[in-house]
Structure 1
Amino acid sequence: MNRELQPLLDEWARELGVPGASVGILHDGEVSVLTTGVSSVDTGLPVEPGTLFMIGSTSKTFTAAAVLALVEDGLLDLDEPVVKYLPDLKLADPAARDVITTRHLLTHSAGFLGDVDMDTGWGSDALAAATARYDELPQVFGVGEVFSYSNSGFLLAGRVAEAVSGLAFEDLVRERLLEPLDMTDSWFLPWDVLTRPHAVGHVLRDGKSEVEHDVGLTRSANPGGGLWSTAADQLRWAKFLLTGQAKGAPPLSDATRKLLWTPQRKAAYPIEEVGLSWLITRFGDAEVIRHGGNVSNLQRSEFVTVPAENLAVTVLTNGIGGGALGPKVVDWCLENVAGLPAIEAKPVVPTDPEEYAGLFPTGDLGFEFTVRDGGLWARMVATDDSFEMPPAAEVVFVAEDVVARAGDTRQPLARFLRDEDGAVSAVEFGLRTALRDRSRRTA
């Protein structure tokens, strides 16, 4: 397997402009780690198996597991209102404040704005200071009404965990999960990372990768995406989730471990269901439980498991091109390691693109659809231009109100939603449910 994948990994990374990457594969108990490229184009140091990368939003799966450890302790109930544990919590909608539960937070269904960066420094009170400002977040949807990926929801879940445990969030995750699983190469805080081999994030400028002198996140975002780790450590996490095996006493019971992956509600495109943090979809007939991360397009990652095939794949990268490299590696592993058949392309459905053009914001992020030469183009944008985003890509309709990338129609990309009058009113894109900005139309 390594002999076949290594040259492909090297080639794909060069083609996609990814400075460096680390790939971990766990299959039937056997572990493989492959690396390519450099941790920084400034230093030229090669990526090694022990190089730390930011895993981004896969950190949410550790947040959910830490919360469930507290549930097992009897300190927390997923279905009690959050205000029971945070009585000083303020939200923009008082009615929502009274009913939002930790389960809502872990299933991206609390309804308040989910993509907002709150820089509250690097002190131990950073998370408390950020969530103290949650009355600034508009209540976009009713509580439990829709799934819309929410970083701010996971920050609040992390703050709940701090409050009931009496520990800083990072210490809680280390004591309850990282240490029992022998994940000795996983860290949250930059002063722990800087003394160890680590990858730095890169941006593309004029087609050339350059080091971006920014971590991309602040401390308050740790429950949503702040963990640094290695491919080998991520496979230790995968092994525990797949089998329950740990070096010492397992940090969670089998029942609780399985609950993490148990579907809780329908999700948003391109994912079908959500567990407690985990995203559940299918590759052909096989159930796939996954996550992944994007730290301001500086470091991108994938984490995919196929329980029926005893397979887990993690891909860690330090550039925006990792958003394409990760799926290529994962698809190769699903087809060549697990033996799952390739997904066939879906037929293109002729559709007038004009009614879909517009901006669909979700806070600091948004989805922009434009019409070019009679075709529809899609792009995720940073609404405040705070970081570089990939260029627009042409999309085509593969079903009613459903689009996929024009160059690869195998997997749907987004689904448009309509109001009671039949007008396009929202879009499910990038796991978010984003309402249309009626004040602006892009054509």
Structure 2
Amino acid sequence: MKADIEHWASCLAALAADSEVPGASLAFWHDGEVYECATGVLNTTTGAPVGTDSLFQIGSVTKVWTATQLMLLAEQGRVTLDTPVAEILPEFRVSDPRATAAITLRHLLTHTSGIDGDLFLDTGRGDDCLRRYVEACADLEQTFPVGDSHSYCNSGFVIAGRIIEQLTGTVWDQALREQICEPLGLTHTWTLPEDVLRFGAAVGHDERGALVPRWGLPRSVGPAGLICARAADVVAFGRAHLTPGALLADPAFLRQAQVELPNPHCGGRQWGIGWSLDEWDGHQVVSHTGDTIGQHAVLWALPEHGTVIAALINGGRSVEFQHRLATELLRELHAIDVPAPIA
């Protein structure tokens, strides 16, 4: 059954108003067709309207793209998930020598390395920024022994991005274009401000709708959260993960559980390769969310139904908004009851 995009445009606008969201963009793939709609403004100061081609910061949804890049290299036989990081990056080390030797690519992509994940360090705009970031990880402590648990780790994905640079011989931003954007024909997916500014770009707002003082994150944390994209491009990327051969020969491998989450009540029960894994009303849902400075994004994929949804938001009560949007969409598209968030 085809969706009524006018209905969803109206629904998007109403939900955004209720949650004080300045602007949002929605795209979803359903029953063989992509649907797009947008509402609100990119910037409350200028009043520039959100269009379906507007770029938003997708934040940590970027991590699924970085994981995909490494899996492409693994399918080419250039690396394995169980290759130690130190074998590829001579500059890599953390404070515990045993951890330095033990951490593998799998640990990075499943957030099980145990290293402190919150090093948000600006190492400059140069092409050496990831190498310099990895060198700065030398003092990072372990939050638990390697492989013992799961703790969300931004640092691990920057290290993963540096591995991509080492294996491809180019900077992460260019490798992203060559490995994913160009093969999928993504024209509205970029990482650097000078590229993003060629399009209509959202700026962040706080929960009250006030403009935030900074636009984006430093280039040095790119592989963990620097992609800017339109919602339809994010959906196209998600569709590739449901279609063998679109990018990966076996994208379903990334959806296989690698670790049980210590807290299964917030965001997923398990983690795969890059993806958070959950079950809603008996249906598998793979997803990732992303937060930057006043912006929020979410990508959901339902392998059983072939449905992919991306929502991009630039402030307000964004988590409330995304949950209400998912509830409305999945109830109507597939009669799925989305679990209520815990109090």
TM-score of the aligned structures, taking structure 2 as reference length: 0.94
Match of 1:177 among 180, 184, 192: 180
> What is the rounded CA distance, in whole Å, between the counterparts of 2:15 and 2:218 in structure 1?
31
Q: Which amino acid letter does the alignment assign opposite residue 267 of structure 1?
A: L
How far did residue 178 of structure 1 move? 0.7
The match for 1:230 is 230
The match for 2:16 is 13
Q: How does 1:323-334 map to 2 (within 5 A)?
A: 323-334=319-330
Q: Spell out structure 1 runs of 4+ moving beyond 4 A.
A: none
Pair 1:337–1:129, CA change in 2 (3 A): same
Match of 1:283 among 277, 280, 284: 280
Pair 1:144–1:338, CA change in 2 (3 A): same
> What is the rounded CA distance, in whole Å, between the counterparts of 2:321 and 2:190 in structure 1?
24
The match for 2:311 is 315
Match of 1:106 among 102, 106, 109: 109
- Pick which of 285-294 and 317-326 moved more: 317-326
> What is the rounded CA distance, in whole Å, between the counterparts of 1:340 and 1:203 in structure 2?
31
Which has more strand, going by share of residues? 1
**Retained in 2: the 8 A contact 1:300–1:320?**
no
**Retained in 2: the 8 A contact 1:302–1:327?**
no
The match for 1:164 is 167
Match of 1:293 among 283, 290, 294: 290
1:38 equivalenced with 2:32 (yes/no): no
**Retained in 2: the 8 A contact 1:35–1:47?**
yes
Pair 1:140–1:261, CA change in 2 (3 A): same
Q: Which amino acid letter does the alignment assign opposite residue 88 of structure 1?
A: E
> What is the rounded CA distance, in whole Å, between the counterparts of 1:108 and 1:220 in structure 2?
19
> What is the rounded CA distance, in whole Å, between the counterparts of 1:342 and 1:157 in structure 2?
33
How far did residue 342 of structure 1 move? 5.2
Counterpart of 1:217 in 2: which secondary structure? coil
Q: Which amino acid letter does the alignment assign opposite residue 293 of structure 1?
A: G
Q: How does 1:208-223 map to 2 (within 5 A)?
A: 209-223=209-223
**Retained in 1: the 8 A contact 2:269–2:278?**
yes
> What is the rounded CA distance, in whole Å, between the counterparts of 2:176 and 2:253 in structure 1?
18
**Retained in 2: the 8 A contact 1:50–1:230?**
yes
The match for 1:265 is 259
1:4 equivalenced with 2:21 (yes/no): no
Q: Which amino acid letter does the alignment assign opposite residue 210 of structure 1?
A: A
> What is the rounded CA distance, in whole Å, between the counterparts of 2:338 and 2:167 in structure 1?
46
Pair 1:320–1:162, CA change in 2 (3 A): farther
Q: Which amino acid letter does the alignment assign opposite residue 306 of structure 1?
A: L
> What is the rounded CA distance, in whole Å, between the counterparts of 2:104 and 2:338 in structure 1?
40
1:155 equivalenced with 2:151 (yes/no): no
User: Is there any run of 5+ residues in structure 2 with no aligned partner, and where?
Assistant: none
Match of 2:147 among 144, 148, 151: 144
Encode CA deviations 1:282-310: one digit per residue, 9 max, x unaligned.
111111000110113x1001111111122
Encode CA deviations 1:299-350: one digit per residue, 9 max, x unaligned.
001111111122111100111422221121112111111221354xxxxxxx
The match for 2:66 is 63
**Retained in 2: the 8 A contact 1:301–1:323?**
no
Encode CA deviations 1:262-290: one digit per residue, 9 max, x unaligned.
21111243211111010000111111000
1:127 equivalenced with 2:124 (yes/no): no
> Size of the alignment, in residue pairs?
337
**Retained in 2: the 8 A contact 1:21–1:36?**
yes
The match for 1:77 is 80
> What is the rounded CA distance, in whole Å, between the counterparts of 1:28 and 1:274 in structure 2?
27
Pair 1:243–1:252, CA change in 2 (3 A): closer
| RMSD (Å), alpha carbons | 1.5
> What is the rounded CA distance, in whole Å, between the counterparts of 2:312 and 2:124 in structure 1?
26
Q: Which amino acid letter does the alignment assign opposite residue 230 of structure 1?
A: R
Match of 2:336 among 340, 345, 349: 340
- Which of the pair has more CA radius of gyration? 1
Pair 1:231–1:342, CA change in 2 (3 A): closer
**Retained in 2: the 8 A contact 1:287–1:308?**
yes
How far did residue 89 of structure 1 move? 1.4
The match for 1:433 is none
> What is the rounded CA distance, in whole Å, between the counterparts of 2:218 and 2:135 in structure 1?
16
The match for 1:388 is none
1:302 equivalenced with 2:287 (yes/no): no
**Retained in 2: the 8 A contact 1:313–1:333?**
no
Match of 1:49 among 34, 48, 52: 52
> What is the rounded CA distance, in whole Å, between the counterparts of 1:32 and 1:328 in structure 2?
18
Counterpart of 1:110 in 2: which secondary structure? coil
> What is the rounded CA distance, in whole Å, between the counterparts of 1:244 and 1:77 in structure 2?
20
How far did residue 216 of structure 1 move? 3.4
